[in-house]
Chain A
Amino acid sequence: MKGVLVRPIFLTVFIYLFLKFIVPNLPHSAPLPSSLIFLYLMLTTAGIVIFATLSGASKDAFFGPMLRFLTGESGGAFGGARYLVLALFPLLVGWQTYGSTASSDAPPAENRTIHPAPPGEYTGLSNPVPKTPDNIMYGKGLYASRCSPCHGNFDGKGFAAPGFTPPPANFKDPTTIAMLQESFLFWRIKKGGVGLPVEGMPWKSAMPRWELELSDEDIWKVIMGEYDGAGQKPRTWDESE
């Protein structure tokens, strides 16, 4: 059994480890969902079986050790392992059946879109307020009085933040305002949590609807103050071209 099955087993384990631990660390990559890893391992196994059954001799060499193991002809140390496998297989099937029929204690999954598309009228707007030191300072002042209780020092860790889920956005995080256009921020600040579309469910955003309290010009200044304070730059069409 050793010689023939060692390589397929090693190959499968290696591919699993590669997909699970190496791929997520590659540049511009992300962790793979377990369902995708399972699919790749199934493809690997199918490939191994096809390769091993190309000829009658290779087929016998591949399946022979498995059949001898199952029938107990391998003998020696494999005898105990055989009983273990024969006992574990039904238990595994029973466990899987229980898992798929028992009611789950987990709450329903929430597939919230973090940055849903804004309505058309808010797409591609450019900041009409001149980017002067005075305007940036004014925007930072508004940020300090209106936004910082929840968004903190641009890090999403304001003193009023702990009860909110999802937590207030961390503007220093490169996946928030750095990857968004100013027009997106204008929409989110102006319309707040109640401006979210259906894909923003379950509507837990506590973001105020600032159009009730701030003028459009002030909102644009807050946006400038946010980017400057967080040390980020807005995403623009020019950069993506």
Chain B
Amino acid sequence: MARVRRPGARWWVGAVGLTGLCLASGLPPAYSQQSVSVRATLVKGALPADDPAAAAWATAAVSEFPMSPQVHWPVRITDVTAKSVKVRGLHDGTTVAILLEYADPSEDPDDAAALEFMVGDSKAHFAHGQPMAQVQGGPVNIWYWKNKDGKGVDMGAKGFGTLKPHTHQTVNAKGVYQGGAWKVVFSRPFKTDHGEEDTQFKPGEFASIAFAIWDGKKMDTGQPKEKGSEKAISSWWYFRADAPPDYSPYMYAALAVALALGFELVLVRRLKKGS
């Protein structure tokens, strides 16, 4: 009589394989994804708030965001010089510094860059906080730097045409042009005394951030290639300054392991007694 092989004797091999395949299908892809946030890490030494070329920036995580021409407002442009911007962040617990790095074929006096933030809890449209038709949006806080001015300007807006510098100025900025690229660092204390106009940072919490870049190259008309609302812009992304190290999750995990182990020991002991 022929020997009959029992089907499914090695069922667990198939089950483990299938489970593995299912788990693998849920894993993130190996290729890197587009950045969605800027992370400012806690710097150990001095914060390079006025040095865009400082070695400390090499220790900061880099994020890269694509840029598009500003098209929302009618005074628009359809092609821009900056196609993307690399962003790094550092902080020392009281002051935050954000470094923008982007390609620009020429150094021009009207070259400029800016950061944009929401203010307070009110959401705002990324295009200068343009008023929304159906809901009340909030203002935006803009940190602006222009090469020929050589300083940072703290500004506010609630829609195109409403941009104006704040009466108080707490933003510093410095740019360095090296090898066909700008490096511009902005810095400001986490908190200011003007919460209704300035964005306030809290370590560990996400804030919305957007970027703008102007190529100030002078054209035949005598005007800069990009100026005003004719600029490269990004959508809203996220920014977060790292909170101080928190070891409590490790403590909770260790406690949970001890409790689970104790539960197991009691259970097995009882079962043995019962049997």
Task: Give A contacts to B, CB under 8 Å.
Answer: 6, 9-10, 13, 16-17, 20-21, 67, 70-71, 73, 86, 89-91, 93-98, 101-103, 105, 107-108, 119, 149-150, 159-165, 191-198, 201-204, 206-209, 212-213
| Contact between chains at B74 and A213 (CB < 8 Å) | yes
A160 pairs with B19, CB closer than 8 A:
no
Encoded as 1 (CB less than 8 Å from any A CB) or 0, chain B from 193 to 217 comes to: 0000000000010101000000000
Answer yes or no: B166 CB below 8 A from chain A CBs.
Answer: no
CB atoms of B206 and A164 under 8 A apart: no
A17 contacts which of B22, B65, B125, B126 (Cβ < 8 Å)? Answer: B22
Cβ-neighbour of B264 out of A90, A165, A201 (below 8 A): A90
| Chain B, Cβ-Cβ closest to A206 | B72
A78 CA / B258 CA spacing, docked (Å): 24
A97 pairs with B68, CB closer than 8 A:
no
Bound: A203/B238 CA distance, A? 14
Chain B: number of interface residues, binned into ranges: 35 or more
Min CB gap B212→A, angstroms: 11
B242 to chain A, nearest CB (A): 10
Contact A204 B18 (CB under 8 A): no
Task: Answer whether A202 and B68 are a contact pair too, CB < 8 Å, given A98-B252, A107-B36.
Answer: no
Given known contacts A192-B72, A193-B127, A206 and B134 CB-to-CB distance under 8 angstroms:
no
- Apart from A13-B18, A96-B256, A202-B123, list 4 A-B contacts with CB within 8 A: A119-B134, A163-B232, A194-B133, A197-B134
> B127 and A206: CB pair below 8 A?
yes
Closest chain A residue to B26, Cβ basis: A34
Contact A149 B71 (CB under 8 A): yes
Taking a contact as CB atoms under 8 Å apart, the answer to whether B68 and A163 are in contact is yes
Assuming the contacts A67-B271, A162-B68, asked whether A103 and B246 have C-beta atoms less than 8 A apart, the reply is yes
Contact A207 B69 (CB under 8 A): no
Report whether A89 and B260 are in contact in the complex, using a CB–CB cutoff of 8 Å: yes
Query: Contact at B261–A203, with CB atoms within 8 Å?
Result: no
Q: Which residues from A are CB-within-8-Å of B228?
A: none
Contact (Cβ within 8 A) A195 B66: no
Whether a CB of chain A sits under 8 angstroms from the CB of B8 is yes
A6, A105, A165, A203: most-surrounded residue (chain B CB, <10 A): A203
Contact B260 A94 (CB under 8 A): yes
* A208→B268 CA distance, assembly (Å): 68
Q: Are A160 and B71 within 8 A (Cβ)?
A: yes
Q: Does B235 contact A (CB under 8 A)?
A: yes
List chain A residues, Cβ under 8 A from B204.
103
A6-B65 contact in complex given A73-B275, A204-B235, C-beta closer than 8 Å = no
| Cross-chain contact A196 with B123 (CB below 8 angstroms) | no
Given known pairs A9-B15, A10-B15, the reply for A206 and B264 (CB within 8 Å) is no
Interface centre among A108, A161, A163, A212 (most CB of B within 10 A): A163
**Shortest Cβ distance from A116 into B: residue:** B134
B234 contacts chain A at the CB level, 8 A cutoff = yes
A108 with B206: CB separation less than 8 A: yes
Q: Can you give 18 A-B contacts (C-beta < 8 A)?
A: A20-B25, A70-B268, A71-B272, A102-B249, A108-B206, A159-B79, A161-B68, A162-B68, A162-B83, A163-B65, A191-B133, A192-B72, A194-B125, A194-B133, A195-B134, A204-B126, A206-B68, A212-B74
| Across-interface contacts of A89 in B (CB, < 8 A) | 260, 264
Chain A residues with CB below 8 A from B256, complex form: 90, 93-94, 96-97
Q: Of residues 224 to 272 in B, which have CB atoms within 8 Å of A's CB atoms?
A: 232-236, 238, 240, 243, 246, 248-250, 252-261, 264, 267-268, 271-272
